[in-house]
């Protein structure tokens, strides 16, 4: 298991490359509120606990099915376990620079789209 974790960034890079290449081969889909929100937001965290919480959420987006994401709970800003769902994590750590942006009504479908997964994969590699 420990060796797997050492190679995790490499495996993520392969998966992201695959998604990126085949993303261009697909027809344009419906408007994605999550991607629009993320592309016009700035990531903000005040300490290591918050940063780790965001990283955990990003890894979950990349690895868990929609059903598990809907059930998953995360720490809030104070670090209390099991307080926030994924949508709350994104809303509280990705601060939009355009007024009126929302994550939309199809949040869990949008967040599992290839384009959003590529976005989070690239961001995960930075932190």
42: which residues sit within 8 A by CB, 6+ positions away? 94, 95, 97
- What pLDDT is stored for residue 2 in this prediction? 58
pLDDT digits (tens, 9 = 90+) for 33-78: 999 999 999 999 999 999 999 999 999 999 999 999 999 999 999 9
Question: At which residue do the structure tokens 């307080």 appear?
Answer: 83
Residue-range definition of the domain harbouring residue 8? 2-24+32-126
DSSP state of 46: S
CB atoms within 10 A of CB 89: 25
CA geometry: angle 78, 79, 84, nearest 5 deg: 95
Total number of domains constituting the chain = 1
The model's pTM is 0.77
Comparing CA positions, the residue from 34, 62, 65, 60 lying closest to residue 73 is 60
């Amino acid at each position: 298991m420990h060796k797997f974790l050492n190679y995790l960034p490499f495996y993520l890079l392969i998966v992201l490359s695959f998604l990126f290449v085949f993303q261009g081969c697909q027809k344009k889909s419906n408007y994605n509120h999550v991607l629009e929100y993320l592309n016009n937001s700035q990531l903000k965290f005040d300490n290591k606990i918050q940063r780790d919480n965001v990283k955990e959420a990003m890894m979950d987006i990349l690895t868990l099915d929609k059903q598990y994401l809907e059930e998953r709970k995360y720490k809030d800003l104070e670090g209390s376990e099991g307080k926030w769902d994924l949508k709350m994590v994104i809303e509280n750590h990705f601060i939009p620079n355009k007024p009126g942006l929302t994550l939309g009504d199809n949040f869990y479908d949008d967040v599992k789209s290839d384009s959003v997964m590529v976005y989070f994969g690239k961001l995960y590699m930075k932190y």
